Amino acid sequence: MSTTTLTHVQSRAALPAGLTVVATEIGGAALLGAFLLAEATPMVLALLALMGGLFAALQLRPRIEEEIVRAFHEARGLATVLAVAIVLVYPFFLGGNTYALHLLIVSLLYSVLALALNFQLGSANIPNFATGATYGIGAYTSALLAIHLGWSFWATLPAAAIVATLFGFLLGIPSMRTRDSYLALVTIAFGIVIHQMLNNLSWTGGPNGLVGIPAPSLLGHSFMQPIELFGFRLPSQANFYYLSAALLGLAILSAKRLHESRVGLAWNAIRADELAAKCQGINVVWYKILAFGVDAFLAAFAGTIYAFYISYISPDNFTFLVSVTIMTMVIVGGMDNTLGVILGAFLLTMLPEKLRIFSDYRLLFVSVVVILFLILRPKGLFPQRQRHYGGQ
């Protein structure tokens, strides 16, 4: 018995890393595509069951996951190139399905927001219920600049990020003195104050929001225009798809770099024990405020793209509930695990949309699923991994 298991393992270990990477990435992309395009209820449920099955397999045979992680580690170059290629050609496989493309864009933007929050919640254990607010500040800043001052999208992007980061630092100041539940309440209160201001001030358009945000253009190509390439024609949403994908790429890159830097280490030290971190000479206050700033910076980018994509924003897009949803994505996906967080964001964005059969009870269903997740898998789909030291 034991010898057969051994040979079995050896034969799997002999599987070339490149093959594993290709199979995993293409398989994952195909599964996502099938889920995006599935419309009939039985199909959606079957795909959900398949995902559940795959996940259970990973769960029961931890070796599979280790193998995949190892393969990705070995064939890192191939994995990156293939991933970029898949992202680039993906819209072609969705055909002209604009709804699927729209879902994909929203999922990408929420992934960025979840990754932004992950710097705080996952890395440093700072509860921030105001990501929705910084997202809103970014969206409103860029929309106001574009509508009233005629700034182009590319100019509003950094401006929105700077404004939101300043607000992020401002929000971070109380974290010098408050912690845990008290800090959570400060961020909740901040989020509500921002939402109420957007709702009541006249120059933000009040409850009606801002309409007519002009579409961006790049090198003379307006984002309203469909993309035509080699005789293929992609709907205009594809412009924003590529833009959001680029932003997510940037977010993943910064998550990776920060995680491996001193900053990431300091955040993890604060998560482990704030007082001990302080005793080690880590400037706890600065790193906590920095976490707020980084979160706001990335969230503002996502907000700007969202505002220009939908061309209409209102305070309802940035409520307390949005912040809670983003937080849930991080927790359900797996704190401090980039892949887990992105998966959580995709799942929680698409699940309510795909469960149209429950129409009126979607929110109910999703909340129940969240509670079940928290009870059954408290560390998230993909728990945080052990840090690897020594460069490679």
Partner 1 sequence: MESLILQHLLNWLVLGSIYTLVAIGFSLLFGLLNVIHFSHGDVSMIAPFVALGSLQVLFGLAGSSAGILPILAALVIAVLVTGLVGIGADRLVISRFRHSPAMMALVATVALGTVVRELIRGFYPQGSNPKSFPAIVQGFVEFGGLRLPALPVLIVVSTVAIVVLMYLLMQNSPIGMRIRAVAEDGATARLMGITPARIFAFTFFLASAVGALGALFFASYAGVVRFDFGVQLGLIGFSAAVIGGLGSMGGAILGALAIAGIETIVQANMADGASYRLVFAFALVILMLCIRPSGLLGKPVFEKV
> Applying CB under 8 A, does 367 fall inside the site for partner 1?
yes
Structure token pair of residue 345: 């964001």
Closer of 125 and 304 to partner 1 (Cβ): 125
Q: What are phi and psi of 377, to 5 degrees?
A: -140, 70
Q: Which of these ranges, 24-32, 96-104, 343-351, 373-381, lies near partner 1 under the rule CB under 8 A? A: 373-381
Alpha-carbon gap, residue 135 to 133, rounded angstroms: 5
Tell me: does residue 326 bind partner 1 (CB under 8 A): no
Which one among 29, 185, 285, 310 touches partner 1, defined by CB under 8 A?
185
Q: Interface with partner 1 includes 324 (CB under 8 A)?
A: yes
Min dist. Cβ of residue 239 to partner 1 (A): 35
Nearest approach, Cβ of 133 to partner 1 (angstroms)?
12
Among 94, 109, 188, 355, binds partner 1 (CB under 8 A): 188
241 vs 267, beta carbon nearer partner 1? 267
Judged by CB, which is closer to partner 1: 11, or 181?
A: 181
Cα 313 to Cα 23: distance, rounded to the nearest angstrom: 40
Among residues 174, 226, 249, 352, the one that binds partner 1 under rule CB under 8 A: 174
**Nearest approach, Cβ of 212 to partner 1 (angstroms)?**
25
What torsion do the CA atoms of 107, 124, 156, 138 make, to the nearest 10 degrees? 70
If one asks whether residue 356 binds partner 1 (CB under 8 A), the answer comes out as no
Among 65, 66, 180, 316, binds partner 1 (CB under 8 A): 180
User: Do 304 and 86 touch, CB atoms closer than 8 A?
Assistant: no
Which span (104-112, 182-190, 239-247, 308-316) binds partner 1, by CB under 8 A? 182-190
Measured from the CB atom, is 305 or 366 closer to partner 1? 366
Show contacts with partner 1 in window 248-287 (CB under 8 A): 273, 275-276, 279
Interaction between residue 316 and partner 1 (CB under 8 A): no
Count of positions on this chain that bind partner 1 (CB under 8 A):
43
For residues 77 and 235, the answer to whether their CB atoms sit within 8 Å is no
In angstroms, give the least distance from the CB of 272 to partner 1: 11
Q: How far is the CB of 375 from partner 1 (least distance, A)?
A: 5
Contacts of 390 (CB under 8 A, 6+ apart): none
- Taken in order 119, 124, 128, 133, the sign of the CA dihedral is negative
Q: CB-wise, 246 or 364, nearer to partner 1?
A: 364
Q: Which listed range, 90-98, 101-109, 361-369, 382-390, lies at the site for partner 1 (CB under 8 A)? A: 361-369
Minimal distance in Å, beta carbon 182 to partner 1? 6
Least distance to partner 1 from the beta carbon of 343, Å? 17
125 is a contact residue toward partner 1 (CB under 8 A): yes
Q: How far apart are CA 374 and CA 369, in angstroms?
A: 9
User: Where does this chain bind partner 1 (CB under 8 A)?
Assistant: 121, 125, 127, 173-174, 177-182, 184-186, 188-190, 192-193, 196-197, 199-200, 273, 275-276, 279, 320, 324, 327-328, 331, 360-361, 363-364, 367-368, 370-371, 374-375, 378
